[in-house]
């Protein structure tokens, strides 16, 4: 059976208890090998991929985004639900809130960001006026509402190269440019999904106020702690969205 839905997440998002017939799968792509899990939820096959690898060992700037998206395309995936921790630049978007982002600003520096490198794939310029799937965002909004979770229906995601956090001046600049949130993994994942003609949306989970906005220094521990406190909500949100 073709796998039409995929979840790209981090630690904790994948819960084997709610899936049946789970199997590990290795998918070979022109960009490298990808490990993922395929299980069933309410009779629907769903692929689960940890973008940082099974043991969470790959940092954001070294994730093989092309292999990950190519693997999902090869499985026949049409819809991708991605999750990601973000810092907030917008006082209305508080730690613990979810944001179904509708735009991104790309400040990455050193990533393979396209399938269209010339050669066999050719030279293609993909439209990304609306990089995130509006239908899927609407489903996520409905799911959040039905679960009583605080969620924002839109927002602009700034993607930095990482792995360091930002300077206070960078955050001030991103705010002036219209950014609401900052993270390290959303791009080129979103644009590659678009190149692959898949419907893609991100569940951005606010874990902290960004550098210079927060009165305290940001630590990785803080980000992980808030993520872990909210992981049950992310799981519920994903499962509710998949059920629809």
Instruction: Point out which residues bind ligand HPA (CB under 6 A).
Output: 85-87, 160, 165-166, 182-184, 207-208, 210, 218, 223
Residue 111 Cβ vs ligand HPA, minimum distance, rounded to whole Å: 15
Residue 120 Cβ vs ligand HPA, minimum distance, rounded to whole Å: 35
Of the pair 39, 87, the CB lying nearest ligand HPA is at: 87
Residue 186 Cβ vs ligand HPA, minimum distance, rounded to whole Å: 10
Of the pair 134, 163, the CB lying nearest ligand HPA is at: 163
Of the pair 108, 240, the CB lying nearest ligand HPA is at: 108
Of the pair 140, 182, the CB lying nearest ligand HPA is at: 182
Of the pair 37, 111, the CB lying nearest ligand HPA is at: 111
Strands 181-183 and 79-88: antiparallel
Query: Token pair for residue 99?
Result: 């944001």
By Cβ distance, which residue is nearest to ligand HPA? 87
Residue 89 Cβ vs ligand HPA, minimum distance, rounded to whole Å: 9
Residue 158 Cβ vs ligand HPA, minimum distance, rounded to whole Å: 8
């Amino acid at each position: 059976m073709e796998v039409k839905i995929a979840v790209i997440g981090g630690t904790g998002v994948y819960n084997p208890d709610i899936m049946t017939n789970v199997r590990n799968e290795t998918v070979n792509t022109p960009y490298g090998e990808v490990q993922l899990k395929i299980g069933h939820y309410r009779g629907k096959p769903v692929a689960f991929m940890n973008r940082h690898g099974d043991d969470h060992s790959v940092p954001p700037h070294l994730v093989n985004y092309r292999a990950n998206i190519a693997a999902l395309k090869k499985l026949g995936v049409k819809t991708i639900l991605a999750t990601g921790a973000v810092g907030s630049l917008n006082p209305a978007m508080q730690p613990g809130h979810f944001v179904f982002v509708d735009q991104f600003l790309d400040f990455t520096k050193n990533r393979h960001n396209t399938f269209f490198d010339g050669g066999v794939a050719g030279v293609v310029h993909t439209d990304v006026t609306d990089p995130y799937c509006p239908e899927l965002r609407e489903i996520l909004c409905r799911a959040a509402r039905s679960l009583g979770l605080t969620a924002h229906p839109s927002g602009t995601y700034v993607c930095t190269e990482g792995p360091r956090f930002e300077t206070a001046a960078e955050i001030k600049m991103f705010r002036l440019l219209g950014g609401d949130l900052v993270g390290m993994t959303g791009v080129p994942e979103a644009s590659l999904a678009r190149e692959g003609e898949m419907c893609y949306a991100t569940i951005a989970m606010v874990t902290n106020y960004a550098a210079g906005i927060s009165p305290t220094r940001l630590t990785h521990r803080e980000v992980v702690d808030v993520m872990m406190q909210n992981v049950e909500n992310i799981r519920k949100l994903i499962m509710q969205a998949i059920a629809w």
